[in-house]
Amino acid sequence: MSSKPFIVGIGGTTRPGSSSEQALAFALAHARSLGAETQLFGGTELQMAMYDPATASTDENGRKLVEALRRADGVILSSPCYHGGVSGLVKNAIDYVEEMRADPRVYFDGRAVGAIGCGYGYQGPGVVLSQLRAIGHALRGWNAPLGVAINSAVVKFTADGCSEEAIGKQIEIMAAQVVQFAQMSLRA
């Protein structure tokens, strides 16, 4: 087992450059700056068949996601707000975690879970953040103390970072919490 934590990011939309995928990429970049290895499953990689236990192993993207999650020490989830909740694309990807139901490390057991909710306004991102944290808990993950809600009408991401310093700092703190917990788990 490596002493370098492996953090998997799941999020985004089918639209390249979505705010939820950019926020996730920003979080994973910070995790890498702290010494973690990362892998992002964004819009393209999340396009998989609706989860069905009978056929899940035949979906290539689903299989790659589950393989990465099996070796992950931490996970960061990032979803846009679609009609008051987590997007179907992100939720379907999370449903593939059911393939880990009989693993020695079931679901997200013993793994740190960070969460980012994005939406065009102030209400939706908080709802999505709450749902992602509930999902992380239901999957036996250890939610990072700080979750991040982003109003994408105000916050923009560029090659230079985040347009709102306070939000950028929140993302960095959450990513650091995921990495720190993952490092503690590796030492245990």
Provide the whole-model pTM.
0.96
Distance CA 168, CA 43 (A): 22
Distance CA 51, CA 124 (A): 25
- Residue 105 is encoded by which pair of tokens? 């490390």
Average pLDDT for 160-182: 96
- Residue 182 is encoded by which pair of tokens? 């993952």
What average pLDDT does the structure give for the chain?
A: 95
Report the pLDDT value the prediction gives residue 66, as an integer from 0 to 100: 98
What are the extents of the domains in the chain? 6-187
What dotted CATH number matches 6-187? 3.40.50.360
Report the pLDDT value the prediction gives residue 185, as an integer from 0 to 100: 85
Report the pLDDT value the prediction gives residue 2, as an integer from 0 to 100: 59
- Triad 116, 12, 182: Cα angle to 5°: 50
pLDDT at position 110 over 90: yes
